[in-house]
Amino acid sequence: MTMENTLGLGLVRQPKTVLFGPGQRRQLGRYARGFGTRALVVTDARMATTPEFAALAEDLRECGLAVSVYDQAEPDLPRRNVMEVAGMASAVDVIIGVGGGSCMDLAKAASAVLAHGGDVRDYFGEFAVPGPCIPVITIPTTGGTGAEVTSLAIVFDEETGMKMAVADAHIEPAIAIIDPELTLTCPPGLTAATAADALSHLVEAYTAKPKNPSPEQIETQIYVGKNRITDMFCEKGLRLMNRSLGRVVENPADLAARSDVMFAAYCAGMAINTTGTAAAHAIQSPMAAIGHTPHGFGVGALLPYVMRLNLPYATAEFAEMAHCLDVADSAASPEENGRAAIERIEALLEQTGTPLELKSLGIEERHFDQIARSAVKATRLVLNNPAPLTEDAVRKVLARGLAGDRSWWA
């Protein structure tokens, strides 16, 4: 049985234009000039020093655009970065985010503040942006976050100590330029962590609850459940990860494998832009405040235990996943094929070097209550999870993760 036979609705939110392929970054100038003559490029300090970035800026200038650069984007995008960009730019026709997820989220969040004024806090939540924003072009340099195609900007509010989201179709990038050549110089650790993140996106989107949203819900909620179109993206992404993730880790210069993983990350971004993520992401966010582990490794470490929690509630989805991962057995039961899929996902995570237990991430039993209380407050993610995600369920996931207990749940 395929999932599309059980899901009638098809829905995705997406950029107007997506360019994918080696060398496609060289088209930046010709697309950017369609928005006007003043470009603001946001990136991080490392990327700003590279020849690739210099070439992008020069291409913009050769196409007639005046270029301003903000190169202080930080990991886990802090609110101050957004407000610094809003303070430095007065008249901008297009914002270009070059880099990892934080750089692209910075471009999206700043587009709302520059267009409508105020503080980025004014736009936290779903559909809080009052109207169209400054057009955004995204150029990812890692294969993992999917931020190049999502309607989401995650911002860390330093004063409250919480990660918040601007979740609004108005900040959807107008154009995403996805060039695998830009990932060739990505450090091995970052390559591995972002790939683990993308893999978790594919798993959580494929096993998320179908919600059959009403027209009103589609207008007011970003995450409206899995459907036949998001499943199509997940299936393609899982097949590509299964084929090429190990090759990227073994040989970072393998451009064909880099292209597969980057396309898989794009597929994952397209899926979560409508489905959202679920338990692994809900639990990882408060964990990160304790252990300060890279996001991808944090969700990857949780995934084995979350998948086991969810298997009884998403058996058909996990069984279908086994076909995507080439581990299905026609003589096996759906539960047995689901277990095979979970074990294959774990093997892929192990290839990236993701720790598949929580002790090495700085998590201790004394943190369980704090993490559980915070995790269940992420209601958009909690409602996506196939198994009920109560505080008690979170504590059980954490206990198994701390012990490295990958036995099957009764």
pLDDT in tens, 26-44: 999 999 999 999 999 999 9
pLDDT digits (tens, 9 = 90+) for 332-353: 999 999 999 999 999 999 998 8
Q: Which residue's entry shows tokens 């990932």?
A: 183
pLDDT digits (tens, 9 = 90+) for 18-27: 999 999 999 9
If one compares 380 and 279, the residue with the highest pLDDT of the two is: 279
pLDDT digits (tens, 9 = 90+) for 256-271: 999 999 999 999 999 9
Summarize the confidence of residues 397-404 as an average pLDDT: 96
Spatial CA neighbour of 307 closest among 197, 196, 410, 207: 207
Strand blocks (E) in 7-157: 17-20, 38-42, 66-70, 94-99, 125-126, 136-140, 152-157
Which pLDDT value is given to residue 7? 54
Highest mean pLDDT among 106-115, 189-198, 287-296 belongs to 106-115
SS3 content of the chain, % helix, strand, coil (to 5): 55, 10, 35
Return phi, psi of residue 94, to 5°: -155, 140
The distance in angstroms from the start CA to the end CA of the chain is 25
Token pair for 305: 């235990």
* Eight-state DSSP code of residue 407: P
pLDDT digits (tens, 9 = 90+) for 301-310: 999 999 999 9
Q: Which amino acid is at 208?
A: A
Which pLDDT value is given to residue 229? 94
Relative orientation angle of helices 255-275 and 188-207, to the nearest 10 degrees: 40
Q: Over 70: is that where the pLDDT of 89 sits?
A: no
> Are 150 and 272 a contacting pair, CB within 8 Å?
yes
Q: Over 60: is that where the pLDDT of 4 sits?
A: no
Rounded CA gap, 346 and 348, in Å? 5
Q: Over 90: is that where the pLDDT of 81 sits?
A: yes
Q: How far from the centroid of its chain's Cα atoms is residue 280's Cα? A: 12
DSSP string computed for 219-271: HH-S--B--HHHHHHHHHHHHHHHHHHHHHHH-TT-HHHHHHHHHHHHHHHHH
Exposed / middle / buried, residue 393 (Cβ in 10 Å: 0-12, 13-18, 19+): buried
Phi-psi region of 118 (alpha: psi -120 to 50; beta: other; left: phi over 0): left
pLDDT digits (tens, 9 = 90+) for 166-221: 999 999 999 999 999 999 988 888 888 888 999 999 999 999 988 888 888 888 88
- CA 381 vs CA 202, 245, 328, 386, 401: distances in Å: 14, 26, 29, 10, 20
- CA 73 vs CA 16, 84, 107: distances in Å: 25, 10, 10
Summarize the confidence of residues 109-122 as an average pLDDT: 96
Q: Which residue's entry shows tokens 């929580």?
A: 358
Task: Convert 248-261 to b/e letters by CB count within 10 Å (16 or more is b).
Answer: bbeebebeebbbbb
Q: Over 60: is that where the pLDDT of 378 sits?
A: yes
Q: Over 50: is that where the pLDDT of 233 sits?
A: yes
DSSP string computed for 159-203: TTTEEEEEE-GGGS-SEEEE-GGGGTTS-HHHHHHHHHHHHHHHH
If one compares 158 and 63, the residue with the highest pLDDT of the two is: 63
Rounded CA gap, 113 and 33, in Å? 22
* 3-state SS, residue 303: helix
Taken in order 160, 162, 163, 164, the sign of the CA dihedral is negative
